[in-house]
Amino acid sequence: MVEGLIYDLERQTIVGLIPKPTVLPVLALGLEKTSKWEQRDRGLWLCSEYWPHKLDLTKRHLPPPAHPSLSPAQREEAIRLLQEPGMSVRKVANILGTSRGTIFRLAEREGIELQTGQKLTPEQREEAYQLLDTGMSLRQTAKHFGITPESLRRLVKRHRTR
């Protein structure tokens, strides 16, 4: 025996209830006063005069335009903060109470070169790659530059994919 709700996708509403047989009398009694439901076929059905109109699926339903998540003043503040030394996208997003994606897209639109969190200069990175190529271990090389072995491993992985 099937039980549950009957949901009309075109009308986006519940049009039928098929409860367990022991629950049907109580449910029917509760919904009787609304006069919107009728009992038939082992269930309760919404009277057809209460059915909403079907959605017109031939028309495209577009969401409303999104409001900018940052006010003009916040955008100016974000741009100013991004240009300060030591400020990351994450820090700016936390300060302004928005997402990192919003700040990242703003930086891209404004042509702001983002500061990387890398601790090594390009020359130090090249030296690290050379030390690793000569056989020095990842741990020893990381210790030599004062970074964690995991940071160096990620750096090497990014370097090799390029």
Domain ranges for the chain: 4-50, 72-110, 122-161
Tell me the two tokens of residue 16. Answer: 């039928």
Q: What is the pLDDT of residue 84?
A: 85
Q: What is the pLDDT of residue 135?
A: 94
Q: How confident is the model at residue 56 (pLDDT cuts 50, 70, 90)?
A: confident
Instruction: Give the Cα-Cα-Cα angle 19, 22, 27 (nearest 5 degrees).
Output: 55
Q: Please tell me whether the overall predicted TM-score, pTM, comes out greater than 0.85 for this model.
A: no
| Cβ-proximal residues to 8 (8 Å cutoff; 6+ apart), any chain | 14, 15, 51
Q: How confident is the model at residue 80 (pLDDT cuts 50, 70, 90)?
A: very high
Q: What is the pLDDT of residue 96?
A: 92
Q: What is the pLDDT of residue 160?
A: 75
Q: How confident is the model at residue 38 (pLDDT cuts 50, 70, 90)?
A: very high
Tell me the two tokens of residue 54. Answer: 């079907």
Q: What is the mean pLDDT of residues 67-85?
A: 87
Q: Say which residue the tokens 């309760």 belong to.
A: 44
pLDDT digits (tens, 9 = 90+) for 117-144: 667 788 888 999 999 999 999 999 999 9
Q: What is the mean pLDDT of residues 28-35?
A: 88
What is the amino acid identity at position 160?
R
**Torsions phi, psi of 36, nearest 5?**
-95, -15
Please state, for a pLDDT cut of 70, what percent of the chain lies above it.
93
Mean pLDDT of the residues in the chain: 86
Q: What is the mean pLDDT of residues 50-74?
A: 79
